[in-house]
Structure 1
Amino acid sequence: MARILIIDDDPQIRDVLRIALKQAGFSTREAGDGPEGLAKALNGQDDLIVLDIGLPGMDGLELCRRLRAEKDTPVIFLTARDDEVDRIVGLELGGDDYVAKPFSPRELVARVRAVLKRSQGQAGANGMLRRGLLEIDPMRHLCRFDGRDVALTQREMGLLVHLMARPGNVYSKAQLSDAVYGPVIHVSDRTLDSHLRNLRAKLADAGAGGAIETVHGVGVRMGPCTRA
Structure 2
Amino acid sequence: MAHPSQLGLQDAASPLMEELLHFHDHALMIVILISTMVLYIIVAMVTAKVTDKFILDSQEIEIIWTILPAIVLILIALPSLRLLYLMDEINNPHLTVKAIGHQWYWSYEYTDYEDLAFDSYMVPTQDLTPGQFRLLEADHRMVVPAESPIRVLVSAEDVLHSWALPALGVKVDAVPGRLNQATFIVTRPGVFYGQCSEICGANHSFMPIVVEAVPLEHFENWSTLMAEDA
- Of structures 1 and 2, the one with the larger relative CO (CA 8 A, separation 6+) is 2
Larger Rg over CA atoms: 2
If the length of structure 1 is used for normalisation, what is the TM-score? 0.23
Q: Which has the higher strand share?
A: 2
